[in-house]
A and B are shown apart, each in its own frame.
Chain A
Amino acid sequence: MAVSALWRRMTLGDRLLLFVLLALILITLPVTRSQGKGARLLVEQDGAVLYAAPLTASGRWRFQGPLGESEIEVAHGGARIVSSPCPHKLCIALGRIAHPGELIACVPNHLLLRIEGESASSHDLITR
């Protein structure tokens, strides 16, 4: 009732202004909700973040794990493990990651490299 009474009292200009305001709110919705951000590399160990920086920050870093020191390289928008004390070196064999959602895990040395950001993948998850 109150809304219809208010609507009747509004002039054409008021209604136009209201329409513009509502349209603006709806148009800006995807922008304000997406909270989009560039791809960042996270290096984690036992739930703690050891390193977090944009993939554009090139360099080499060393991290201590239970088996010894692992070295990672960030270059040309990607990251990889270049040396590891783990027995099979599977983490090195996994190669380079460069896209949001990709990760490299060195299970024996408790090291996790993960790229965070808006994923362009058409899948929510991959089962393997």
Chain B
Amino acid sequence: MRRVLTLLGLLVAALLLRQLLFPASYDVRRSQILLGTVVEIDLHGADASRLEAAVSEAFAEIARIEALMSPINPSSDVARLNMTTAPLAVHPETASVIAFGAELAQKSGGAFDLGLGRIKALWALESETPHHATAEELAPLLRDLGPGDVSLTDIGMAQRAPAVAVDLGGIAKGYAVDRAVAVLSRAGEVWGSVNAGGDIGFVGSRPDRLWRIGIQHPRQAGEVLATLSLEGGAVVTSGDYERFVEIEGERYHHLFDPSTGEPARRCQTVTVVADGAMLADVLATALFVLGPEKGFPLVESYHASALLVTVDGAVHTSPTLSGVTWP
């Protein structure tokens, strides 16, 4: 009897030891359409109910950012700002996003611009009736564009130049990913990712290996151009192949060059690796417009790195980019 009890005790001890050494791991993976794209959250950890709650909270956080910064929502800060030319009190988070965007507009020499709303509306590329904007139509809209067209006053109120409409499309998605990552990180010992249509933020590091992130080939659907091995941070891609329409046989995409009001023509795709998704988002947009010669120094000045494909199909990498493998 004593021997049986001893063996049973050993068995229980072994099971407890297994639980201690190899705790149960759960994976919560959910997707929602937010910010005009598909947002996927994948979170791993030992407490399933805590993971579920954290993922729900992260989606709610993204929806909150969308409500603040979507130009479509009539009560958003952006929509209200576009209804007045006077300085406007906005939510502190909107103000901080505008401040960061205005800084990048300045440092990129205007390649990144927060005031492209009217240009985008004129082209209407995502509507049922896209329009090929002419130089005559674009000229009055370009007049006020440039660094400082959207800015903050000394007391933190947002303001815009009269001929521009604020559009935070090149920055708000990255900010929302950063916020979702922050919310998920509060769930304790967890790891995972937030992917908002190619704007990816990582929650911690994988416990077993580095993250393996494929970069979509810009001209071969379903093929990977290169693979990045990353410990964490964020990675964002801007390409001319995701949202575009063909008008009279020519491709028109959603990444506009603020100096011309036309879709930027230097690159096919740009991928930026940075500490945060908002930074990577803005740098990717600016780099897409600038191309490698002027864009890489900007990227490096923010301790980020990048890979891009120019319009002729040539691949370029910034000097500090590491962890790239080619197929």
The interface of chain A, by Cβ under 8 A from chain B, is 6, 14, 17-18, 21-22, 25-26, 29, 33, 44, 46-47, 87-88, 103, 105, 107, 110-112, 114, 116, 122-128
Contacts and interface: CB of A to CB of B under 8 A. Distances in A.
B127 A87 contact: yes
Nearest to A29: B22
B216 A126 contact: yes
Contact of B216 (A112, A116, A128): A128
20 contacts: A14-B6, A17-B7, A21-B10, A21-B14, A25-B14, A33-B24, A44-B31, A46-B32, A87-B127, A88-B126, A107-B33, A107-B37, A112-B32, A114-B31, A125-B195, A125-B211, A125-B214, A126-B214, A126-B215, A128-B216
B73 to A, nearest CB: 15
A25 B19 CA distance: 10
B237 interface: yes
Contacts, number: 92
A128 B36 contact: no
A111 B38 CA distance: 10
Contacts of B10: 18, 21
Nearest to B56: A47
Interface in B179-206: 193, 195, 197-198, 200, 206
Nearest to A42: B31
Given A14-B6, A21-B11, A25-B18, A126 B224 contact: yes
A127 B211 contact: no
Interface in B1-22: 3, 6-7, 10-11, 14-15, 18, 22
A47 B216 contact: no
A124 B212 contact: yes
Contact of A14 (B3, B40, B197, B245): B3
Contact of A22 (B14, B24, B215, B235): B14
B256 interface: no
Contacts of B206: 124
Contact of A105 (B22, B29, B38, B213): B38
B245 A88 contact: yes
B36 A107 contact: yes
Contacts of B11: 21
Nearest to B38: A105
B304 interface: no
A29 B52 CA distance: 24
Contact of B237 (A47, A103, A123, A127): A127
B30 interface: yes
B17 to A, nearest CB: 8
B310 interface: no
Contacts of A87: 127-128
A88 B130 CA distance: 10
Contacts of B31: 44, 103, 112, 114
Nearest to B32: A47
A21 B18 CA distance: 11
A34 B178 CA distance: 30
Most B Cβ at <10 Å: residue of A22, A44, A105, A124: A124
Contacts of A25: 14-15, 18
Interface in B204-238: 206, 211-216, 224, 227, 235-237
Contacts of A122: 212, 227
Nearest to A109: B33
Nearest to B215: A127
Contacts of B59: 47
B146 interface: no
Given A125-B200, A126-B224, A47 B214 contact: no
A98 B189 CA distance: 33
A123 B33 contact: no
Given A124-B211, A126-B216, A14 B7 contact: yes
B76 interface: no
B271 interface: yes
